[in-house]
Amino acid sequence: MGLDERIWRWNPRPPVLTPDAMRAYIESALGQQAAGQSLPFATIEKASGRPVGSTRFCEINVEHRRVEIGYTWIAPDWQRTFVNTEAKYVMLRHAFETLGCVRVELKTDSLNERSRNAILRIGASQEGIFRNHMVTASGRMRHSVYFSFIDSEWPAAKARLEQMLAGS
């Protein structure tokens, strides 16, 4: 499901294009989970039970009560559908209402217009661009656009996301 080259275009790491590469990707995510560095999730389309993507909490900072939602990919057939909106809603709700976060961050490649628009569409605030933030697998310097939600914004963002999901 996740072996489509289009999924990995903007990822700074090498693309995941074979079953062995996907296995390594999953093992890395589970290793980070075991080390307390991230909390990965499979994104499952409920009606069919099919996995259609993945995402995780990463850059977990308990002291400062913040977390990043990242490493998100969605199979092309499910992009621009309710799937990612619902996944982000569930994760944001968990971060603010269960974990007690005061800040949830998201970031994407400055060239990834689809991702930037999707993050804005769900109500995140764009904060700025970190220039020359990462060296990609191809050697290109990536500028990363940072977005966030903060706890005082969560009630309005939650209502907005619930309204969006009710219409899907």
154-166 and 82-93 helices, crossing angle to 10°:
150
Q: Calculate mean pLDDT across residues 119-139.
A: 96
Cα(165)–Cα(168) distance, rounded to whole angstroms? Answer: 5
Residues with Cβ < 8 Å from 53, sequence gap 6 or more?
1, 2, 42, 43, 72, 73, 74, 75, 78, 83, 84, 87
Residues with Cβ < 8 Å from 82, sequence gap 6 or more?
165, 168
Q: Within 13 A of 23's CA, how many CA atoms are on the CB side?
A: 3
Cα(127)–Cα(146) distance, rounded to whole angstroms? Answer: 6
Q: Rounded to two decimals, what is the model's pTM?
A: 0.93
- ∠57-81-96 over CA atoms, to 5°? 30
Question: Is 80 exceeded by the pLDDT of residue 105?
Answer: yes
- The predicted-structure confidence for 52-83, as pLDDT tens digits, reads as follows 999 999 999 999 999 999 999 999 999 988 99
Are the beta carbons of 130 and 144 closer than 8 angstroms?
yes
Encoded tokens for 29: 């995510």
Confidence class for position 96, pLDDT limits 50, 70, 90: very high
Residue indicated by tokens 């489509």? 4
- The predicted-structure confidence for 20-32, as pLDDT tens digits, reads as follows 999 999 999 999 9
